[in-house]
């Protein structure tokens, strides 16, 4: 999805500065589903302003430069709705953790096992924080995505717990081959 659409989606949730939009992708509602860098957000916001899809209000701050707060326009809502009608790309998982596991046979099984244990703990912590989220103001699609995220993280943690022993079997097979 292009950065302009991502920014419009963020602004649909409410007026925000570029920094606040970035936070939505780092630790907010979009944090588990998309990444957006400042290098993508600010040029996208500039284009949205130029195209009349967003407006900007500068708010004075003490001893700091004015804060630019962006809001979506009606034209921006229409553009976002049009962009959302396009078929989505297939999901792709980008994971350092999974990459390490694929080629990790070069590492001791104990190291891989520690990585798996840490990832299980991360999934469990993410589930715990998601379980206490207030979903009362979220639209149905947001609640659906939240539930899917919980299901995926729970399933991933459960799978890793049940199957981490496969790393030990790989270590045994590697030792026997040497």
Identify which has the larger pLDDT, 44 or 172: 44
Kindly give the interhelix angle for 96-103 and 109-131, rounded to the nearest 10 degrees. 160
CA 119 to chain centre: 16
Q: Assess contact for 41 and 78: CB atoms under 8 A.
A: no
pLDDT at 155 over 70: yes
pLDDT tens for 22-33 read 999 998 888 888
CA distances 34 to 15, 63, 107, 127, Å, are 19, 33, 30, 18
CA 15 to CA 45: how far, in whole Å? 12
pLDDT tens for 46-103 read 999 999 999 999 988 888 888 999 999 999 999 999 999 999 999 888 899 999 999 9
CA 13 to CA 21: how far, in whole Å? 10
Q: If you classify domain 3-84 with CATH, what class do you get?
A: mainly alpha
């Amino acid at each position: 999805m292009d950065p302009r659409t991502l920014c419009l989606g963020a602004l649909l949730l409410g007026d925000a500065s570029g920094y606040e939009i970035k936070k939505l992708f780092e630790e907010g509602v979009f944090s588990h589903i998309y990444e957006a860098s400042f290098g993508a957000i600010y040029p996208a916001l500039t284009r949205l302003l130029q195209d009349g899809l967003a407006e900007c209000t500068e708010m004075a701050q003490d001893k700091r430069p004015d804060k630019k707060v962006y809001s979506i326009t009606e034209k921006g809502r229409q553009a976002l709705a049009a962009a959302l009608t396009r078929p989505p790309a297939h999901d792709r998982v980008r994971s350092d953790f999974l990459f390490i596991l694929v080629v990790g046979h070069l590492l001791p099984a104990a190291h891989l096992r520690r990585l798996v244990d840490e990832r299980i703990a991360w999934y469990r912590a993410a589930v715990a924080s998601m379980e206490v989220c207030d979903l009362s103001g979220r639209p149905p699609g947001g609640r659906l995505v939240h539930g899917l995220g919980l299901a995926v993280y729970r399933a991933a943690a459960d799978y890793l717990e049940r199957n981490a022993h496969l790393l030990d079997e790989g270590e045994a097979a590697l030792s026997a081959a040497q």
